[in-house]
């Protein structure tokens, strides 16, 4: 049996994505609370995400959308898959923490703030995931714009703070030399 490179590359991307989700799940978490969510988007779901990124980009940035959200949406379309990693927007109740800038969790929540530990957990989970992609030699880039868009989509349950990681296997990393720099 002969396996062509395109099919093998698609398989490699999905295997890496699965391993990235496992790495995010097993990453250390603050206060022992597992609040991590993972999703993988391919095909039409991935393309719909790119379309939503452009729409949100127009809403947020107007005519300058192409310098950030548009550029990133192009990368999403060119990627083989997108791994979404999120942390639930909950307040941990850690005594005397204050990392969020408020005196306690009640003050943070009532002011509409986010628990800093959610971002710590998200950062550790995403970092664990991209080390898997690096070990597998699969190109990737952590994108805030994907996460911001995902927060506007009906993905999973509850409020989740997302970051997105598109994955690609090609002769040249599609996430560098993107040609557009934003302010």
**Residue 63 DSSP label:** G
Q: Give domain status of residue 174, yes or no.
A: no
Q: How far is CA 173 from the centre of its chain?
A: 18
Q: Is 11 helix (H, G, I), strand (E, B) or coil?
A: helix
Q: Give domain status of residue 27, yes or no.
A: no
Q: Give domain status of residue 115, yes or no.
A: yes
Q: Give domain status of residue 178, yes or no.
A: no
Q: Give domain status of residue 183, yes or no.
A: no
Q: Give domain status of residue 182, yes or no.
A: no
Q: How far apart are CA 83 and CA 45, in angstroms?
A: 12
User: Domain range spanning residue 128?
Assistant: 5-22+33-168
Q: Give domain status of residue 179, yes or no.
A: no
Q: How far apart are CA 154 and CA 3, in angstroms?
A: 37
Flag residues of the chain having pLDDT under 70.
Answer: 178-183
Domain count, the chain: 1
CATH assignment at residue 161: 3.40.109.10
Q: Give domain status of residue 134, yes or no.
A: yes
- Asked whether the CA dihedral 23, 15, 52, 6 is positive or negative, the reply is positive
Question: What are 53's two structure tokens?
Answer: 């990124």
Query: Cβ atoms within 10 A of the Cβ of 67, count?
Result: 15
Cα separations (Å) of 121 from 44, 88, 126, 145? 29, 10, 9, 19
The 10s digit of each residue's pLDDT in 11-47 is: 999 999 999 999 999 999 887 888 999 999 999 999 9
């Amino acid at each position: 049996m002969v396996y062509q490179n395109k099919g093998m590359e698609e398989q490699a991307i999905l295997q890496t994505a699965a391993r990235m989700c496992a790495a995010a799940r097993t990453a250390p978490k603050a206060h022992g609370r597992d609040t991590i969510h993972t999703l993988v988007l391919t095909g039409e779901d991935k393309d719909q995400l790119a379309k939503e990124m452009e729409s949100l980009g127009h809403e947020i940035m107007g005519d300058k959308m192409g310098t950030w959200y548009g550029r990133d949406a192009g990368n999403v379309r060119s990627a083989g898959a997108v791994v979404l990693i999120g942390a639930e927007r909950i307040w941990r109740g850690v005594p005397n923490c204050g990392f969020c800038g408020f005196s306690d969790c009640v003050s943070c929540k009532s002011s509409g703030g986010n628990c800093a530990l959610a971002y710590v957990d998200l950062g550790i989970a995403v970092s664990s995931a991209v080390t898997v992609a690096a070990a597998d030699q699969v190109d990737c880039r952590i994108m805030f714009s994907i996460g911001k868009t995902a927060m506007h989509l009906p993905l999973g349950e509850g409020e989740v703070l997302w970051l997105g990681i598109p994955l690609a296997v090609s002769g040249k990393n599609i996430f560098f030399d993107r040609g557009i720099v934003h302010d």
